[in-house]
Structures are given as structure tokens and as C-alpha cells.
Structure 1
Amino acid sequence: MTYNLLTVDPVSPEIVALALSGCLGIAVGDVDVADSDGDPDLRNWDAPVSCEYRAVQGDVAWSLDVYAQEHVADQPPESDLAAGFAKAAMTTVLFPAEEAPPSAYWAVTPEGVLTRARLELSDDEPPLYAITAVEAPVPQLPGATVTRFAEIVREQRPDTPVAWAFVESVEKVRQAASGLARLSLDDGTGSPVWTAKGNLVAWERVITQMESGWAPSGWYPAGLYRERLESRDELAGIGAHLPRDVTELLDGAVGQLDGRFAAATEDDPAGSLRRELPGGSAEQTPLGWWWHRRPNPAPWEQACPLPGSVVKSKEINR
């Protein structure tokens, strides 16, 4: 298994070997630690665990590429290894997150505080590593802005079984149709069927995350919430452009999701929700009833993790 770590402080090869041996449950002598630009003839290529290190510039000091061979019995998730290494080496450690943005990282402190971190590389050669933001304060990163990462929430894609059941049902209808009827079920980009699928997925995602308490981030951007309500608007009008049997399937799927949405929200007779969402005005009067219900508490008002809070690695969405 391969692990990719970045350390805020430089760590001696001896400390690297000691930390990795403890994290992976092997003897210190079974860890080969070497400079990535060093003499390959000096390496122990048969070592159960190998680690190549190189110095980098900016807010981090070392980049570590760790490889544990298959016969190493204890191979923890990268989050656990990073936390153990941070504690043993007494430095904050970064490791890449699962989400698509290349700047998406996690940071874990020697005390076990785990938080999102935004790591950006300059265009210099060699590049400068800048940790520009974190979601909870990190003492070793005083220059990083403490903020929420909306781009991370956008990347989260919870399962959407209702939407996929609709997709499968539409495909069955398409296979059974012929001629012009089959043409009306085209799901190419921009087609009514394609639009229905996409908006149904978006609507189910926000409901699923609402039901989970907005896991895994614990909050939700107000702008993204508005977009999800607008997806529901699209679902309300798309039926007129679909074949009748597909419209019936869509109505059934939307009905299931609407029931869950209603159960997870409360009436908003004063229209306070519309004043909180960007991109609109309180004077606008959306017709859909979903605009007149709100989650309580509003997920964009919820606080970031408390400074000094210890977050378990199992809470990482990986």
C-alpha cells in the first residue's frame, strides 16, 4: 500500500523510521528511509517498508512517499497512518483528500486534531507549497485562513437509489419502444430525459445529506442549497416534454423524494429562507411549495469544528 504524506517540519530519517515502525507494527530495521535523489545502491530494496523523502519549499518541509509491501500485516488507512506519524514525529502532517480538486487535503496535528486544508502550489520551479486555508485553526499554520470549503461539499456525491431506479425504468421503457417512441426517449446531453435524470439526482442528493445531518462535512453552502431547489423547479416543468409513461415514472420518483424532503424540513411562512439564499431576492415569490419550507437549523449557519476538537479518522469521507 502506498501513502503520501507532507510534513510541516523537517523530520530526520531516524525519526521517520521510528514513526513508521510504530504506525505499521514492524521493527525499525525493517523500514528503509532514503533521499529520493540519493544513491540507489545504498537502498535496502527488500525492506518490508520503504520511504523516499524530499525537501519541498513553502509551508511544508518534507514530502514522504511510503510503500508497505503486501506481507506487512498492519496496513492502516492513510488517515490513521498520518495521525500516528504526526503524534510520533511531533509535527502537523498533510495527506490528500479523495475529492477532485488538487488542493483538497487533510491536516492532522500531533494532538490528533483533524481538519480540511487547502494546499496550493505555485508555478515556480521548484514550486512553493502554500497552505492557504483550513477549516479549524492549526497552531503550526498561523497564516492559513480559517474558513469552510464549499468546493468540497459540491464534490460530495451520496448514493441516489431513487434516481437510479428511475434511470433503469426509463431504459426498460426505451428498450420496449420502437420507431418514433424510442426517439422520444433519447437521453443525449440537453434532452428532456437527460435533464430529468440530472435534476432528480441533484434533488435526491440534498435530501440524503439533509437526512444525515449534512454529513460528512456537517454544513451545506446556501448557494448550493438554492441550486438544489432550482433543480426541483426543473422537475416540476419537465414532465410536459416527456412521454406519458416516463412522466409517470418521474412523478413516482419525485413523490418519494418530496415526502422525505417534507419530513426533514419545517414550514417557513415568513419566507426567511429566500432572504438567506444568494442569487435571489425576498420580493420574488417562487411557486413551488419546496421554497416555503426550510431545514432547521439552517446548515449554512452551523459552526466549523471547534478549535482543538479531535475528529476520528473514521469521519473522513474516503
Structure 2
Amino acid sequence: MSPLSTPVADACFSSLSHAAAEAIAALDAVALREQKARMAPWAAEKLREATNSVPRRSREWERLTARIVHDWPPDGTYLVDEYVNDLATRDTLERTKHELPASAATEFTAMLTRLDDAFREVTVDDGGASIAWRTNASEPDLAQRPWWWHRRPVNAPWT
């Protein structure tokens, strides 16, 4: 198994109820249409899945924890900008949770809770101090962001 595999997200998406799978597919269809509208027609016709689909974003969030656990493969580095992008990905997953019908949101939230718990295990709360300089946010603005913005990996390569 690859150190960057995503077993939690993969299991979740393969075992969704029909209704939850349809609800997520509907969100992804909208995202795909929006993405294609911003592309050249020749490129848009080749795109089959939105680059920001719910499964892809979920896997990216899980992959961040895997990177931390395995000491930042393949070479022990990870840019703080990439980490900030991962935190922004988690923001989109939070919005997704609220865009889904209640039953689908329950299934999705169960997966997200497992991913979040794993992330908490390998990070420490620093109030966002290690990334504040890269977010262009004031301290009060950063303090208002969700909890994941206040955490840094115990082995952050940029500190």
C-alpha cells in the first residue's frame, strides 16, 4: 500500500447509500459544468471529473495526514503554501457538508470526522502561528477560522 493511500475516503465513497452517492454526484456535476465553462472547448470535452470533486477533495484531506505520518514523502519536504491549500480544501469539505441533504450529510460527516480525528492526532494547536505569515490574515481573522487552521503538524518541515 502506498504511504499516500486513502483507505478511509475510498471505503466511504464505495459504501455510500444510493441517495448519498446521488447527492454527492449532483454537487460534482455542478462543479464539473462550472469548471468546463472556464476552459477552452477542446480541453473541456476531455474532462470527465471536476478537479475539485468531493471524492478528490476528501482524498486530499486524508493524504495530508498520510504525508505527516510518513514524514513528508517522497523527500521530507512540503511547502507551507501546499499546507495552506490543504486547509482550504478542508474548508470546502465543510461547506459540502452543509450543501448535502441531511441523510447524505450524516454519511459524509462520519467520514470527515474520522479524517479529522486522524489529522488531530498528528498535529498540535499553535493558534495558527506557524502559518499566519502565509495566510495574509490578521490575528483576529485567523482566530475566527475553523479549528484546522489553528493546528500545525508536529513535524512541520517549514518551522
Corresponding residue of 1:273:
130
SS at match of 1:294: strand
Structure-2 separation of matches of 1:196 and 1:220 = 23
2:77 maps to 1:219: yes
Corresponding residue of 1:173:
18
Corresponding residue of 2:10:
164
Scaled by the length of structure 2, what TM-score is found?
A: 0.72
Corresponding residue of 2:42:
none
Unmatched segments (≥5 aa) in structure 1: 1-155, 302-318
Cα distance change on mapping 1:249 and 1:183 into 2, 3 Å: closer
| Native 8 Å contact 1:222 1:276 kept in 2 | no
Q: CA deviation at 1:229?
A: 0.3
Q: CA deviation at 1:239?
A: 1.6
What root-mean-square deviation, in Å, do the aligned CA atoms of Structure 1 and Structure 2 show? 2.8
| Native 8 Å contact 1:158 1:209 kept in 2 | yes
Cα distance change on mapping 1:173 and 1:215 into 2, 3 Å: same
Corresponding residue of 1:236:
94
Alignment of 1:92-107 (within 5 A): none
SS at match of 1:237: helix
Q: Which runs of 4+ in 1 moved over 4 A?
A: 181-185
Unmatched segments (≥5 aa) in structure 2: 33-51
Cα distance change on mapping 1:244 and 1:206 into 2, 3 Å: same
Cα distance change on mapping 1:266 and 1:184 into 2, 3 Å: closer
Alignment of 1:11-160 (within 5 A): 158-160=4-6
SS at match of 1:216: coil
2:117 maps to 1:259: yes
Q: CA deviation at 1:216?
A: 2.1
Q: CA deviation at 1:275?
A: 2.5
| Native 8 Å contact 1:163 1:201 kept in 2 | yes
Corresponding residue of 1:295:
153
Cα distance change on mapping 1:182 and 1:230 into 2, 3 Å: closer
Cα distance change on mapping 1:225 and 1:263 into 2, 3 Å: same
> Is the helix fraction higher in 1 or 2?
2
Cα distance change on mapping 1:184 and 1:212 into 2, 3 Å: closer
Deviations 1:244-263 (A, max 9, x none): 22211111111111111111
Structure-2 separation of matches of 1:298 and 1:185 = 35
| Native 8 Å contact 1:266 1:296 kept in 2 | yes
Q: CA deviation at 1:215?
A: 2.1
Cα distance change on mapping 1:184 and 1:289 into 2, 3 Å: closer
Scaled by the length of structure 1, what TM-score is found?
A: 0.38
Structure-2 separation of matches of 1:247 and 1:188 = 17
- Give the share of equivalent positions with the same residue, in percent: 30
Cα distance change on mapping 1:257 and 1:183 into 2, 3 Å: closer
Number of residue-to-residue matches in the alignment: 136
SS at match of 2:53: helix
Structure-1 separation of matches of 2:23 and 2:85 = 30
> Is the strand fraction higher in 1 or 2?
1
Corresponding residue of 1:190:
31
Structure-2 separation of matches of 1:184 and 1:219 = 33
| Native 8 Å contact 2:71 2:155 kept in 1 | no
Cα distance change on mapping 1:184 and 1:293 into 2, 3 Å: closer
**203, 206, 213: which is aligned to 2:61?**
203
Cα distance change on mapping 1:276 and 1:295 into 2, 3 Å: farther
Cα distance change on mapping 1:160 and 1:272 into 2, 3 Å: same
